[in-house]
Amino acid sequence: MPTVTICTSASFYRQAVDIQEQLEAAGFDVIVPRTARKMKETGDFDVDHYKTWFADPGDYGKKAELIRAHFEEIAKGDAVLILNFEKNGKQNYIGGNVLMEMSLAFWLKKPIFVLNDAPEDSAYLEEIYGVLPVFLHGDIARFKAAYDKLNESV
């Protein structure tokens, strides 16, 4: 069973656990970020309760640990799925952390799928296109066929 690692802004972790369930029903093993798993367990999806480093810069070590842990999860997976929704008025938001995750997946030669279209107003647009993702154009139901097609050609 292929393993998909979901990468997304913490603001979208509620959607991440919903999509995790959909992909599992389609026959995939799915890894979501550690904090998303914690949010699911507690039912608390308020990002401010987890990003303590803004109030206490001494907590940036926690952020570093979360980044490192998710990089390991990307390495374990067979593909990554980027969930990019509207955030702070920005359509199809992909922030710096997710861009780093996309870069790692690219370096590890993992297929990269992006749920929605590219964020055309992003300062990282060139880099987003440069890692050659497969865009699902907002339809998670396209993932399985896109994944299967990509793996047929390998």
Predicted confidence (pLDDT) per residue in 137-149, tens digit? 999 999 999 999 9
How many other C-beta atoms are found inside a 10 Å radius of the C-beta of residue 64? 11
pTM: 0.95
> Token match 């509620």: residue?
14
**CATH number for the domain including 45?**
3.40.50.450
Instruction: Compute the distance between CA of residue 16 and CA of residue 100 in angstroms, rounded to an integer.
Output: 18
For 44-81, the pLDDT digits (tens) are 998 888 888 888 899 899 999 999 999 999 999 999 99
The boundaries of the domain holding residue 143 are 3-152
Our count of domains for the chain comes to: 1
How does pLDDT run across 76-96, given as a tens digit for each residue?
999 999 999 999 999 999 999
Residue 153 pLDDT > 80, yes or no? Answer: no
Full 3-state SS string of the chain? CCEEEEEECHHHHHHHHHHHHHHHHCCCEEECCHHHHHHHHHCCCCHHHCCHHHCCHHHHHHHHHHHHHHHHHHHHCCEEEEECCCECCECCCCCHHHHHHHHHHHHCCCCEEECCCCCCCCCCHHHHHHCCCEECCCCHHHHHHHHHHHHHCC
Name the phi and psi angles at 28, rounded to 5: -105, 150
How many CA atoms does the CB half-sphere of 59 hold within 13 Å? 8
